[in-house]
Amino acid sequence: MRSDTLRVLLWRRALDPHIGRWSLPGGRLRPDEDVETSIRRQLAEKVDVRQLSHVEQLAVFSAPDRVPGPRVVATAFLGLVPSDVDPEVPEDTEWHDVDELPRTAFDHREIVLRARDRLRSKLSYTNLGFALAPREFTVSALRTLYSAALGYRVSATNLQRVLSRRGLLAPTGATAPPGRSGGRPAALFSFTGNGMQVTDPFAVLRPPGSGR
């Protein structure tokens, strides 16, 4: 994702059915690899993405008519790339805003939206923000990331309070360079861990004014 927009990587299909439509990268599992190894290999080989910060199984998509012709069952995974990583991708591959998806092949739009909803849910009760953020960040920059992922503007003060209460933020002792308008340099923070953990199983982040 960019810091201000949640995006998904899609590539144009080169074969029928649905030739030319945008689709999620994927392929077959080799006999000598597990699923996560296969995912990382295929992303590296096909779209040159190698810096995944988190991978988890999303769902199995098995509708009989999801693909024309012989039945195909797909296991989809959610993979996250930090916002400061901008890999060079092939000409037939582009990042697309999740909220403005082009016409996609098969049920790939449904898969993308399911992944978006999974991410939004897990940002409430886990430390998964670590997978979106760079190694060091200001609270304002982290707020922008959470706002983009959740789909509504997050309060920087509330976000810092919640994450600090859960023990997820650590001050680095450094500050960010001042912006064009000058002012007091903003403190830099980092996440205390880089593996997903459930931090508050009953927490739900909601838009302002939505009630408890």
Strand ranges in 160-206 using DSSP code E only, listed in sequence order: 169-175, 187-191
pLDDT at position 200: 92
79 vs 181 pLDDT, higher one: 79
Any idea what DSSP says for residue 128? G
pLDDT band (50, 70, 90) for residue 204 = confident
Query: Which of 91, 1, 15, 12 lies closest to 54 in space, CA to CA?
Result: 1
The stretch 87-91 carries a mean pLDDT of 87
* Cβ atoms of residues 42 and 75 within 8 Å: no
- pTM for this model (two decimals): 0.91
User: How many Cβ atoms sit within 10 Å of the Cβ of residue 88?
Assistant: 8
Q: Considering only the C-alpha atoms of the chain, give the largest distance between any 2 of them, rounded to a whole number of Å.
A: 63
Q: Which domains does the chain have, with CATH numbers?
A: 7-124 (3.90.79.10), 125-191 (1.10.10.10)
The stretch 196-208 carries a mean pLDDT of 87
The stretch 167-176 carries a mean pLDDT of 96
